[in-house]
Amino acid sequence: MTPSTSVTLPHRPSGSSRLGAHGTSELLDDYDGFLTPTDLDYWNPFVNQNRLTSPFGTSTRIVCTSFHGVLLDCWQADRQGNPHKLVQLPRNYPGSTGSSQPGGGPSRFVYPGFIPGI
């Protein structure tokens, strides 16, 4: 990740938590565990990890909320440092495992507008 790029989320410093749905606590923190299309494991349906499709790959800052290790919402900075909420797809394609895990397992996130219609 580029240290000079930052995502500013109002009133939510990295490492903070918020009260989520049903009174649960959600953690907001930097996240760098995504597989991207340049990683061979991204295309392996048996690799059970979060995937990201973005014009920036993981070269700009990404912050996510999570609950018990399951990513909920993520934002990625553009080159100017402006945050953009990533779109979470309903399936972790091409991953085929993990959907029976608590929270539905890993997800696939897409940078808004990078794939037409998403």
> Would you call 23 helix, strand, or coil by DSSP?
helix
Is 11 part of any domain?
no
- Residue 7 placed within a domain: no
Assigned domain for 2 exists = no
Q: Which residue has the higher pLDDT, 109 or 97?
A: 109
pLDDT above 90 as % of the chain: 40
Residue 106 located in a structural domain? yes
Contact 63, 30 (CB under 8 A): yes
Range of the domain at 78: 17-110
Indicate the range of 59-68, 69-78, 99-108 predicted with least confidence: 99-108
Residue 25 confidence (pLDDT) above 90:
no
Whole-number mean pLDDT of the chain?
A: 76
Q: Is the model more confident about 99 or about 107?
A: 107
23 lies in a domain? Answer: yes
Q: How far apart are CA 11 and CA 29, in angstroms?
A: 13
Handedness of CA 68, 112, 15, 28 (dihedral sign): negative
Decide: helix, strand or coil at residue 102.
Answer: helix
| pLDDT, greater one: 107 or 17 | 107
Q: Which residue type sits at 101?
A: Q
Q: Quick one: pLDDT band at residue 28, thresholds 50, 70, 90? A: confident
Q: For the chain, how many structural domains are there in total? A: 1
> Is the model's pLDDT at 3 over the cut of 60?
no
| Contact (Cβ atoms closer than 8 angstroms) between residue 106 and residue 41 | no
Determine, yes or no, domain membership for 10.
Answer: no
According to the model, what pLDDT value does residue 111 have?
A: 94
